[in-house]
Amino acid sequence: MEYLNIDGIVVEVEFKRIKNIYLRVYPPDARVHISAPKGMPIERVRLFALDKMDWIHKRSKVVLDRENKSFREYVSGEFHYFKGERYSLNVIYSNHKPKVEVLGDGFINLYVKDNATAKKREEVMREWYRNELKIILPPLIDKWETSLGVKIDCFDIRLMKSIWGSCNIRKKKIMFNLELMKKSNDCIEYIVLHELSHLLERSHNARFKSILDIHMPSWRKIKDELNTFVG
């Protein structure tokens, strides 16, 4: 993946074995992505993006407006996602320690104190997501470290706007997006494999994709699922 900065907008550029150039703006944060034919000069891609800036601005506004309308208040009846499934939120006020529990009938119970603000309710949910992701990630990391013959020193989780994960090759550290906990197990595992594969190949070139093809033949389908917006 390469990146262009045009008028303050970061544009992802991915070179593929395709004939035409494609431009997309992805929710929820209006991430701009261009798929371009292999061998096309990066300056030609830049000129293409410059020519489409009016459309990019308009499309980004539509995406962000849609995202703002899905603003969460963390109240009963809202829909929230966990492991790729949609749940209806029940907010239960009590004097006990705040916690979250998933019920088998399509509900998530959020226990908070009587005076909990919307911000506090959000913090409880995010901390729960973080703890759940901390449980899921280590066995997946162990699995793919063994399969790939690589080893990281540590990983961390944070809320990120435009990427699902990143790999610091020098420090052998992977950063995972907290929002991954809203995605399916397949999506989470794909990101683990993707980031660990960067220890074998830094860029998203043919060798990198061949590594994914060998170890997870369905990765393209999973990637499409990953980039399908859920609130």
pLDDT digits (tens, 9 = 90+) for 32-46: 999 999 999 999 999
pLDDT value at residue 27: 72
Residue ranges matching CATH 3.30.2010.10 in the chain: 79-226
Question: Which residues in 7-64 belong to E strands, given as ranges?
Answer: 9-16, 22-26, 31-37
Q: Which of the 8 DSSP states describes residue 180?
A: G
pLDDT digits (tens, 9 = 90+) for 66-117: 655 556 789 998 889 999 998 999 999 998 899 999 987 889 999 999 989 9
d(CA 71, CA 230): 12
Residues facing 224 on adjacent strands: none
> Does the pLDDT at position 63 exceed 80?
no
Q: Is the pLDDT of residue 20 over 70?
A: yes
Give the architecture-level CATH label for domain 79-226.
2-Layer Sandwich (3.30)
